[in-house]
Amino acid sequence: MANWFDLFGRSAAPSGGAPEYLVVGLGNPGKEYVYTRHNAGFLAMDYMTEKLRLPDLRALKFKALTAAADLGGKRVLLMKPQTYMNASGEAVKEAADFYKIPPERILLISDDVAQEPGRMRIRRSGSDGGQKGLRSVIEHLHSDAFPRIRIGVGAKPHPDWDMADWVLGKIPEADREKMFSIFGCVAEAVPMVLDGRIDDAMGKFNGVKF
């Protein structure tokens, strides 16, 4: 399969100014985790930066790979925490505290075992749903009032399967095309959410199935 991300050109660096919003893709750092189910948030961020011609996330700040960008009419800090999934909240809180960004201006992108591959769900707020990265963010922010985009990776095939083994397993070839299509939807939805059109984004994408 061709590299998913060598598809679009790069733009110049954004104009400047302090970020007013955070967009955070959740995942685990390290080559061994790149194409695992748990890294759907990282993969979606990588796809989005390519498709929307945003800067590479290369600067290591706030325990995350970061890049500043103009997106959805807002000044945004893009983040991929390097703390490992279970401690994602450490990176998010550091950036939020530094820029004085409230939870409602923090958009999280994560995997979701409750949805099958080829689906996504946008929510304004809510519980972590068992996703440990979201749980960490909620604990560190002392709030669940942040929007999130959850990308379906499928449920484990049998109750006896270990959940950690499942989410750290590689995305099967049969599911990659569906997820590639969903990443395109994420890239379209993120600017809409930042622009305050979350209801439009939910109406357009929450029923999508590939």
Catalytic site residues? Answer: 38
Burial class (CB in 10 A: 0-12, 13-18, 19+), 68: buried
How far, in Å, CA of 25 to CA of 14, rounded?
20
171-194 burial, b for 16+ CB within 10 Å, e for fewer?
beeebbebbbebbebbbebbbbbb
The two structure tokens encoding residue 75: 């000044």
**Contact at 8 Å (CB) between 120 and 185?**
yes
**Contact at 8 Å (CB) between 147 and 126?**
no
Q: Please report, to the nearest 10 degrees, the dihedral formed by the alpha carbons of residues 94, 97, 101, 103 taken in order.
A: 70
Burial class (CB in 10 A: 0-12, 13-18, 19+), 91: buried
